[in-house]
Amino acid sequence: MATNRWWRGAVIYQIYPRSFLDTNGDGIGDLPGIIDKLDYVASLGVDAIWISPFFKSPMADFGYDIADYRDVDPLFGTLEDFDRLLAKAHRLGLKVMIDQVLSHTSIEHDWFRQSRESRDGDKADWYVWADARPDGTPPNNWLSIFGGVAWQWEPRRGQYFLHNFLASQPDLNFHHPDVRAAQLDNVKFWLDRGVDGMRLDAINFCFHDEQLRDNPPKPAELRTGRGFSPDNPYAFQYHWHNNTQPENLGFLEDLRALMDRYPDVAALGEISSEDSLATTAEYVGDRRLHMGYSFELLTDDCSAAYVRNTVETLEAKMPHGWPCWAISNHDVRRAVTRWGGDAADDALARQLIALVCSLRGSVCLYQGEELGLPEADVPYEQLQDPYGIAFWPTFKGRDGCRTPMPWNGGAQASFSEGSPWLPVPAAHRERSVARQECDPSSVLHATRRFLRWRHGQPALVEGDIRFLDTPEPVLAFVRRGGGQSLLAVFNLSADDVEWTLPPECTIAYVKDGHGLQEGRIDARRLRLPPRGCFYACLG
């Protein structure tokens, strides 16, 4: 079907439903809460929302362990609530993307309950089962991202099952054609309901090596896996066999063929492999995913050289595919803390939104990013994330980026009339929506001004990108497209810097109206304040 490619250059606002707004007083956000705040989301100037899982689940991994792909968990509401959400979002001009967790299910999914009962039956081979070694140990050395071996013994079958994540998240066997067909049918269920796109969780984990070969060891100096606890053994291996198998490409093509039967829908893949940029380039294209994103800008490295190298590497590998960039999400420490330290820095918060929204590609902004929220320090006794509980105190897990949205400065921040599932820190209440609405210089208003301004810059929405040679901490690039050539320069430090523009950059006029800390130019000498930005049209 024809498509208007709304997703190219789109700004997608991620909603973590547990923490957005609770309307029934149980301390957990819900779909009616999202409906209630959609006007706020639309006021930001974003193009779409991505809603993290709200499907029926025992919530061992807070919805990423699905027990029923086609129903809403009662914690979040009903299918009718989702339909109301979809209708209101569309009335407001917002596209709606939902999470699809295809590679694994919950142990409470009916498929798994049938599969574990015996080695015979319709669902016997729907999951990855393997016999023990002669000494009773697991069939190979594969490890789980959440720590420990990736195999769990199941006495009913007398076999191990594979789980790349929690032991309560068994991996589906995508080598079985019925599994692939069933998951495509689950995707079709939501496309038929009218969603505009899918965010595909851990999409490179669908297939495993059928030979179950051991993963080779990784040298100690290379054990720097993104987002992992420093003492997580997962980083001790090259994960060549438990994910990112060549058979996955055929499944992506089948998925794309299904989605191409619907107008104006898009697939965004989350990709984390040994070479995520190379895998993204392989997975994104006319016959596969519309967009892909990885964790490369979700790290602690905030140098100009790192950002440039990351983007240029993907550009070289994927010159015709469409990337999507994110600097925050529900799995990593909030960006202003990762890149700015413990002291909250509103100037940095404004700059980070401008930076990620100026790169070639689409953008995912995480709820609260528009408020400049820092990482919350959740005490051990209030942790919910099993990942953080297991690796405390060297790694505190993901709760610190998942605390409830602060709608006002009250004790519960108007998130809930009950006790929130995670605490709302004072530092977040001080940056509440209500407080920032009253301050024209707030991060919230700066976000709105910048996104409104960005919509009028065709080079930023769909243009190409070329980086300029700059010294640290200056990052500079040129975006060209739609009859516009736009220079973007960022000072990634908390100090004043100066940079002389190269002869190739002939400035026609400086672009203002974006509401950021602006640099000033005099005789080709650009002066940038701390966390400053500069945009100019080139002649």
Residues with active-site annotation? 201, 270
What is the Cα 361 distance to its own chain's centre?
14
Q: How far is CA 325 from CA 292, 369, 456, in A?
A: 8, 14, 20
Alpha carbon distance 69, 109 (integer Å): 9
Residue pair 458/360 in contact by the 8 Å Cβ criterion? no
Alpha carbon distance 509, 486 (integer Å): 10
Q: How far is CA 191 from CA 362, 446, 455, 503, in A?
A: 21, 35, 27, 51
Alpha carbon distance 77, 273 (integer Å): 35
Q: How far is CA 388 from CA 13, 146, 198, 402, in A?
A: 25, 9, 28, 12
Q: For residue 70, what are its two tokens?
A: 């086609």
- Cβ within 8 Å of residue 73, ≥6 positions away: 54, 55, 56, 57, 59, 63
What DSSP assignment string belongs to 413-455? TTS-SS--SS---HHHHTT-HHHHHT-TTSHHHHHHHHHHHHH
Alpha carbon distance 326, 504 (integer Å): 30
Alpha carbon distance 211, 520 (integer Å): 61
Three-state DSSP at 489 gives strand
Q: What interhelical angle do 304-317 and 276-283 show, nearest 10?
A: 40
Residue pair 243/164 in contact by the 8 Å Cβ criterion? yes
Where helices occur in 171-295 by DSSP H, the ranges are 177-193, 247-259, 276-283
Alpha carbon distance 216, 331 (integer Å): 26
- 23 exposed, middle or buried (CB, 10 Å; 0-12, 13-18, 19+)? middle
Alpha carbon distance 125, 107 (integer Å): 15
Alpha carbon distance 286, 14 (integer Å): 25
Q: For residue 336, what are its two tokens?
A: 């202003």
φ/ψ of 482, rounded to 5, equals 60, 30
